[in-house]
Amino acid sequence: MGTRAQWDKGAWVRVPRRVYAPNVSSAPIITVASPKGGVGKTTVAFELAACLGAVLVDLDWDGGGATGRWGDSPERRVRSALLSGLLSGTGPTPRPIHEAGRPELVPADTRLAELTGLEAGRVIDRLTAWAAEWHCPVVVDTHPGTGALSDGAIAAAECVVVPIVLGGMELSALGGFLRARQDFPLLIAPNRFIGRVREQRALHQLWNLTQSYQVEVAPPISDHPWLPHRARRAALALTEAPSPAVAKAAAEFRAVANVVGRNLGLAATVTSLGPLEEARA
């Protein structure tokens, strides 16, 4: 059994929930999606892929996506196996690029923004086929909002991780997202969590949403103001001899990855999740 973290009388508790079984014909696909930008989606996808030893597929064509975070550029390629595979529905499986300290990456292409007439079913078929050939978990970073690419990646996933910042507009957008996708295996990941009194109302809003839609909530990721300005491209979870700040942040991302891994029957990534109260401290 997995767990669902819930807000109850001022404390987070874990209650049993059913575990979603991965597709037996494919390695598990984990999609990171959000109805709004600016919630840390790409960083969560990057770190989850590093924690789970997964191939990171970047379907976010903007410069701030996982490809730029990795240290590559979507503009540098004349040919893209990712793009051609999505366009034709055939072709060779993309070969992920490698670099020490970073997850393997299938880079984005700026021309993804120009795709028209693409059906979500094709995205599902291609991601599933590629995952089966790679023989390892796949984490997909998506463009914020809806569209064939994001919708297909969500439908292909055995777990959909939804980062959320506890603000009024973000929670309103989350409510619409949950209404449209309440039958999917969602995992809400509170991000940039401060734990101050002003967040109490937002926490209760989140609690109400999780109760209404029976959605699992992961341990939170604290607010790390230095993280967007970090020059190093290495994943926090793969950083050797990390500073105390990096070690704390890496442990929080591993805790989220551990929930994903446990629900999908993957190897544990950390020895302990730690209570939410510790993350709030």
- Region 1-16: mean pLDDT is 35
Residues 76-96 have pLDDT tens digits of 666 788 888 888 877 789 999
Q: According to the model, what pLDDT value does residue 22 have? A: 41
pLDDT band for 273, please (50, 70, 90 cuts): very low
Q: According to the model, what pLDDT value does residue 114 have? A: 82
- Region 107-129: mean pLDDT is 88
d(CA 198, CA 194): 9
pLDDT band for 236, please (50, 70, 90 cuts): very high
Bigger pLDDT: 88 or 276? 88
Res 15 pLDDT > 50: no
Q: According to the model, what pLDDT value does residue 197 have? A: 58
Domain 2-280 homologous superfamily, CATH: P-loop containing nucleotide triphosphate hydrolases (3.40.50.300)
Tally of CB atoms within 10 A around 94: 21
Res 142 pLDDT > 50: yes
Write down the pTM of the prediction.
0.85
**Region for residue 265 given its phi and psi (left: phi exceeds 0; alpha: psi -120 to 50; beta: otherwise):** left
Strand segments (E) across 115-230? 138-141, 159-164, 186-190, 216-217
Token digits of residue 147 = 């569209």
d(CA 251, CA 137): 20
Token digits of residue 224 = 């790390």
- Region 140-162: mean pLDDT is 93
Q: According to the model, what pLDDT value does residue 270 have? A: 39
Question: What single-letter amino acid sits at 224?
Answer: H
d(CA 154, CA 14): 25
Q: How many helices (H) and strands (E) does the chain have?
A: 9, 9
Q: Lowest-pLDDT range, 136-140, 145-149, 218-222?
A: 145-149
Q: According to the model, what pLDDT value does residue 89 have? A: 76
**Who's near 163: CB < 8 A, 6+ residues apart?**
32, 34, 39, 40, 41, 44, 189, 190, 191, 221
- Region 133-140: mean pLDDT is 94
Q: According to the model, what pLDDT value does residue 64 have? A: 66
pLDDT band for 218, please (50, 70, 90 cuts): very high
Question: What single-letter amino acid sits at 91?
Answer: G
Bigger pLDDT: 75 or 246? 246
| H or E element that contains 12 | strand 11-17
Q: According to the model, what pLDDT value does residue 224 have? A: 93
- Helix (H), strand (E), coil (C) string for 174-193: HHHHHHHHCCCCEEEEECCE
**Who's near 69: CB < 8 A, 6+ residues apart?**
42, 43, 46, 233
Residues 16-44 have pLDDT tens digits of 333 334 444 468 999 999 998 889 999 99
Q: Calculate the average pLDDT of the chain.
A: 82
Q: Where are the domains of the chain?
A: 2-280
Q: According to the model, what pLDDT value does residue 75 have? A: 66
pLDDT band for 74, please (50, 70, 90 cuts): low
How many CA within 13 A on the CB side of residue 251? 15
